[in-house]
Amino acid sequence: MLIIRPIRASDYEALYSIAVESGHGFTSLPVNEELLRSKIARAEASFTKNVDTPFDEGYLMVLEDTTTNEVVGTCGIEAAVGMEDAFYHYRLGTEVYHSKQIAVRNEVETLTLCHDYTGAAELCTLFLKDAYRQGNNGRMLSRSRFLFLAQHEHRFGKTVIAEMRGVSDAKGDSPFYEWLQKYFLGIDFVEADYLSGLGKKAFMAEMMPRSPVYVCMLPQKAQDVIGEVHQNTKPALRLLQAEGFKFRNYVDIFDGGPTVECGLNEIKSVKRSRLLTVEVGTMPDCDSQYIISNTLLADYRATAAHLSVSDDLDSVILSPELAKNLKINSGDKCRVLAL
């Protein structure tokens, strides 16, 4: 059985392996022991912290194969970005130039450095090992976060965002970043992305262009990838778009990839998830697959299962094995979502 649970200190080696496998552009998991151990410790503290208002908590979870005890994936949610470290984006805008005298009117796209998403929750750190990229595993891992958001809404910003990986080649080089490297930063994309992942962002404020950038003055290959996603990220983007996430003209400052957003309470899976009372017993045969989670925090568990769920009933039957793996007893509440 594949179970999603909060990360713990003993998962360090597995997380390091995932950081290596995820490759360039996966900023949230740099290959750095100190940072990865810090991420785990921060997640452990976040899952046990009393929260009235979201601040800098990070909820990092792993997908464990209970038959092998192997960690095979990760997913995470940041409670409110930019509260301690600056959270930069480029905002795509338009400037209009018009002269009656010469009868000319031009609209020019601009990129302006901003912190507009400060305080938003962020979906992040989604990764699944190759051998498990089959069936509904990826969809379950990604959408399980919406059950967590629905259950613990007060712990997150009211807007939820997701930064989509932008276009880069096999070596990690980004067409969008090339002009920035040449005229401003002077370091290559992989190094800049790595420093950002470490939280060492002072160089951004010191070296990024302070005035709006005219898109038409960028090299054509840089213009072409603004708001475009990496080939491997397209399925994840389609999934989020189906949930109601939209592109609002914000792009990553390094690779130009789009950031999409949705109000927490407007996410379709948040709205459609249901709280049901658990009965432990013999599960009836059913073809409908659901994501199911408990309602706990530090002991959060989620998985996918075939359940018999009725619109007319507020209860669901779970087998003893499933209930045990989810840390649920008869009479407890669970949250379910059709997969």
Q: Reduce the DSSP state of residue 167 to 3 states and report it.
A: coil
d(CA 279, CA 89): 47
Tell which CATH classification among 3.40.630.30, 3.90.700.10, 3.40.50.10300, 1.10.10.10 matches the domain 2-89+114-269. 3.40.630.30
pTM above 0.75, yes or no: yes
- Of 175, 264, 184, nearest to 223 by C-alpha is 175
Place of tokens 């209970």: 66
Q: Which fold has domain 273-338?
A: Barwin-like endoglucanases (2.40.40)
Q: Is 230 a catalytic residue?
A: yes
Residue spans per domain, the chain = 2-89+114-269, 273-338
Residue 297 vs residues 2, 40, 51, 152: alpha-carbon distances, Å:
19, 16, 12, 8
Task: State how far Cα 188 lies from the chain centre.
Answer: 25
2-89+114-269 shares its CATH topology with 273-338: no
For the chain, give the longest Cα–Cα distance: 82
What is the mean pLDDT of each successive set of 10 residues along the chain, which is 339 residues long?
Answer: 97 94 72 90 97 95 96 97 90 92 92 95 93 92 96 97 89 83 80 69 74 92 94 89 97 93 98 96 90 97 94 93 96 95
Q: Which of 98, 152, 230, 306 is flagged as catalytic?
A: 230
DSSP 308: -
CA atoms within 13 A on the CB side of 137: 19
Give pLDDT, residue 200.
65
